[in-house]
């Protein structure tokens, strides 16, 4: 049985949204799309922050919004938790009070709400930050408080709107792995909004691609990778996915070769998956100066022009696809069979447990 079943038709300014989506209990669905595609509006509609113009939203068989029958359950009575973009932690409350807020709003007395909030803080490794104001928390800590706050009310559906967008690149990898770990403990359905395919691949079981208010493709990562339906999707699935074993800060790749990564202690050593953006791989004619740790000699297997960018398939110790500008490809005089030096920064390799 589908937990969430939503057909959303909504016009808001320039946006003309018409999408149908669902999520089962325990399933994580990523809604992936470019900025302005209507992703946040989907979250707002599901959460009851904006009524839909047409369609129907049901959760566990209960109708939440259905203009046809003039049914609208307001936000405060929907069993839906939301982790907002920028987290929106209440700035004048401590981390504990933020988490206890939903419980207090449901009439649970202060002592009991604080006790439950403290249990969440413990579970998310935030015990020592119970009294901290949000402004004193790091991005990753703030995100955990936001997640705990959303989960504390025991929702049937969890919505995450760009949960990693507020973080800088160096903490993203770490927080993403952590978020994945915490999300697996949640038993309800999850809908994750993101514009970052790596977030979607790592955090979701199924992808829904939304472009310009319409769904252009749905499926598992494998489905979509094998048959990208649109240009946008084709760009997304260029991401390199590798497997290997993590040992210290080195990943021994399943197909040979190794990469140094910036995995922190939260990622268990052992089998891991790696995601690398083609744009993150730099190509050089000569061995680059300095000592970036991930430098290897590769052979250009194949070139594929894509407007002003060139996708370069590399063979050698590590098979990867890089992407460079046409200008750079011209300067490097890239052609099949040619040897180049490839490098990638450790922080550009996203590591997550398999």
User: Which residues contact other proteins by CB under 8 A?
Assistant: 44, 47-49, 74-78, 80-82, 84, 86, 88, 90-92, 101-102, 105-106, 149-150, 153
CB-based contact 145:126 (threshold 8 Å)? yes
Per-residue b or e along 105-117, where b marks 16 or more CB atoms closer than 10 Å to that residue's CB: eeebeeeebbebb
Instruction: Enumerate residues 6+ apart whose C-beta is below 8 A from 106.
Output: 153
Task: Return the half-sphere exposure (C-beta side, CA atoms, 13 A cut-off) of residue 145.
Answer: 32
Nearer Cβ to other proteins (162/353): 162
- Least Å distance between CB 127 and other proteins? 22
- Least Å distance between CB 75 and other proteins? 4
- Least Å distance between CB 154 and other proteins? 11
Nearer Cβ to other proteins (132/153): 153
- Least Å distance between CB 65 and other proteins? 14
Nearer Cβ to other proteins (17/148): 148
Cα-based torsion angle of the residue sequence 172, 177, 183, 185 in order, rounded to the nearest 10 degrees:
-150
- Least Å distance between CB 200 and other proteins? 23
Q: In what order do the strands lie in the sheet with 15-24?
A: 71-72, 62-66, 54-59, 2-12, 15-24, 214-219, 206-211, 28-32, 189-194, 157-161, 80-83
Nearer Cβ to other proteins (74/125): 74
- What does the alpha-carbon distance between residue 46 and residue 10 come to, in Å, rounded to a whole number? 12
- Least Å distance between CB 51 and other proteins? 13
Distances (CA, A) of 33 to 101, 137, 194, 291: 32, 29, 7, 37
CB-based contact 194:162 (threshold 8 Å)? yes
Name residue 298's beta-bridge partners.
340
Instruction: Enumerate residues 6+ apart whose C-beta is below 8 A from 115.
Output: none
Nearer Cβ to other proteins (47/259): 47
Nearer Cβ to other proteins (87/232): 87
Nearer Cβ to other proteins (130/151): 151
Find the distance separating the first CA and the last CA of the chain, reported in whole Å: 27
- What does the alpha-carbon distance between residue 200 and residue 237 come to, in Å, rounded to a whole number? 11
Nearer Cβ to other proteins (102/244): 102
- Least Å distance between CB 11 and other proteins? 19
- What does the alpha-carbon distance between residue 31 and residue 191 come to, in Å, rounded to a whole number? 7
- Least Å distance between CB 237 and other proteins? 32
How does DSSP classify residue 38?
S
């Amino acid at each position: 049985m589908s937990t969430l079943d939503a057909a959303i038709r909504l016009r808001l300014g320039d946006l003309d949204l018409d999408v149908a989506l669902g999520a089962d209990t325990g399933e994580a669905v990523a809604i992936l799309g470019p900025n302005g595609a209507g992703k946040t509006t989907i979250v707002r509609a599901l959460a009851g922050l904006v009524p839909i113009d047409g369609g129907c939203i049901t959760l566990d068989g209960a109708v939440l919004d259905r203009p046809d029958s003039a049914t609208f359950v307001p936000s405060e009575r929907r069993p839906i938790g939301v982790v907002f973009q920028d987290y929106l932690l209440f700035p004048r409350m401590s981390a504990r009070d933020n988490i206890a807020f939903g419980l207090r709003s449901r009439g649970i007395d202060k002592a009991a709400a604080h006790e439950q909030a403290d249990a969440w803080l413990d579970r998310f490794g935030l015990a020592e930050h119970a009294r901290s104001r949000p402004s004193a928390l790091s991005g990753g800590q703030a995100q955990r408080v936001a997640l705990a706050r959303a989960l504390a009310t025991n929702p049937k559906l969890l919505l995450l709107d760009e949960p990693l967008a507020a973080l800088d690149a160096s903490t993203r990898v770490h927080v993403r792995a952590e978020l994945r770990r915490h999300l697996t403990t949640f038993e309800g359905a999850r809908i994750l909004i993101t514009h970052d395919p790596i977030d979607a691949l790592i955090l979701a079981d199924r992808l829904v691609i939304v472009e310009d208010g319409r769904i252009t493709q749905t499926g598992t990562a494998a489905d979509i990778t094998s048959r990208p339906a649109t240009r946008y999707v084709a760009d997304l699935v260029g991401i390199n996915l590798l497997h290997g074993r993590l040992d210290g800060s080195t990943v021994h790749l399943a197909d040979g070769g190794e990469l140094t990564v910036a995995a922190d202690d939260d990622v268990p050593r052992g089998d891991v998956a790696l995601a690398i953006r083609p744009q993150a791989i730099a190509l050089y004619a000569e061995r680059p100066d300095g000592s970036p740790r991930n430098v290897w000699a590769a052979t250009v297997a194949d070139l594929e022009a894509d407007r002003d960018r060139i996708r370069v398939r590399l063979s050698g110790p590590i098979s990867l696809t890089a992407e460079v500008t046409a200008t750079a490809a011209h300067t490097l005089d890239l052609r099949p069979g040619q040897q180049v030096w490839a490098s990638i920064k450790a922080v550009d390799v996203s590591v997550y447990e398999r």
